[in-house]
Chain A
Amino acid sequence: MAMAMAALRREGRRVLLNTPSPAATMAALSRAASQSQIAPLGARSISTQIVRNRMKSVKNIQKITKAMKMVAASKLRAVQTRTENSRGLWQPFTALLGDAPSVNVKKNVIVAITSDKGLCGGINSTSVKVSKALQKMTSGPEKESKYVILGEKGKVQLIRDSRKHIEMTVSELQKNPINYTQVAVLADDILKNVEYDAIRVVFNKFQSVISFRPTLATILSPEVMEKESESGGKVGQLDSYEIEGGETKSEILQNLTEFQFSCVMYNAVLENACSELGARMSAMDSSSRNAGEMLDRLTLTYNRTRQASITTELTEIISGASALEG
């Protein structure tokens, strides 16, 4: 773009300021025509057609980005309320069972949550980066670490160098507004189809419209949870609760961890959707602004070129007239 403008300016100056021999003019024009079709052969002054087209397209792009920003902003409001409400679902679990991101187990599953659509800043690459780092940390000679990927964009990025480790991919989650039932079906699916000792959910936690934190939530399998509880820690306090019904501790732990997984997933999916909309809003805002700036620059160049050609024509007429008089 900038190069084209520079070429345009240069060619413009050559045609306008010099009054060279016809052969030189032809050479310059044919060069211009062959280079970038700026002016047709034999044209007197520079054509502004290209700049006008460019301005039109930039204006259209600006309209589109503005519309996308509005759509993201209006969707964001509803999703944000749901997200903030859903935080109450996992908080009791963390209070009861604690969070153990540093747990060292054999079978790790990393659930990377990304979006299906692009144009939303860096949230997807943040998720992918964190997941990759986590994969490196949790895989070793006796350990393995698999991916479950939610969203098209994360899949596309992880296919490149980690396709061997992908266990399952999920997309089109956001066709309907996200609800708990949907996430529960998905969580059920993952629990049944993927073997795990620890599931690590990676997502972007929504803080504000301009700030998202890559977040990690760890869900342990009942067996690992039991081992953790024996070694003390938060889970150890579970014994101090009185439990109704005839269920054993391991049953309760299994139910709890499964339910914890679906709740954490529900919150994570919502947080990520919310971050996506927020990121899209700010990305579209800045691209509308950039389009505006570009439009200003183009308009300035366009007017300058137009004015220059008018001036030249006037000079030619006046000097022609004075040549006749003199």
Chain B
Amino acid sequence: MNPSNFKHIILIVSFLCNVSFGFGQETNEKNQSGSDKNQKCLKCHGNHTFKYMNEDFGLEIKEAMCSNRFIDTIAFAQSNHGMFKCTDCHSPEYESFPHAGNLRMGLMYACNDCHGGDPEYAKFHFDEIEEAFYESMHYNRAPDAFNCWSCHNPHSYKTQASKGGKISETVTYDNNICLKCHADISQFELLTERENINILKTHNWLPNQELHFKNVRCIECHTQLNDSLLISHVVMPKENAIRECTKCHSENSRLMASLYKYKSMESRKSNGFINAVIINESYVIGANRNKYLNILSVIIFGLVLSGIFIHTLFRIFKRK
């Protein structure tokens, strides 16, 4: 082989290798999951126990991880914030161990510290959500203690309805957010002095309680509807909660403006079924209306009554 050709081949191959490996390296860095980047933190916080070396006495100590400092690594990886490094939100000083005590005095970021005024997140209406939150009973009862994270665990939160998931999964997911405090006194008493919580008892009036709890989100009745938000954040005092059945069980079902809002927005152009999006996954008496069946039933009923009327006329005229 001509030495000059050989030199060219070497140059081309080395260029290709460089380009491919170079790009590959960049892509791998981009795709590096949060858990990889956070390996150092999750080594302790991703487990129920952790070990550290007591340098003074040369002892390896194993301790239990405090439950509210434990991070479910799978839930975190799947969450909306799963791509972040721990130190994107927490102080970089946490990278040293033992962590300095004063770090815990620092205030946590709220949603709008990152999302506020960002056109990229405008579709999520974070600014309106914040305004609604300040109107909510939750904030007004405990302004110092209640914040975004009281409901939305930053380490596991993921959007549900807005991504068009199954309604039943959305209901379970969203209700679990409420039940985290409202069915657990240890969490509940962090935010209030009230001691007795028994949502089964307070909802005794609700017919088919179990069925409602499984298929309807707490927020359908306990929040003010909001036209511009997919999920209202104005949680109302219990005295203002919806109690009229027909708010949901009617043609103008409230569920269409809340639980089924995303799906109704998606299928707004389709015609035929009134409240069709409810029909796709469930059955809500009074809210499920089928336009064609309605017309057909009116026609059949009209024909029967017309037949009876005409027959009656003949009987009258032929009576003699």
State yes or no: do A and B come from one complex.
no
Residues on B facing A (Cβ under 8 Å): none
Residues on A facing B (Cβ under 8 Å): none
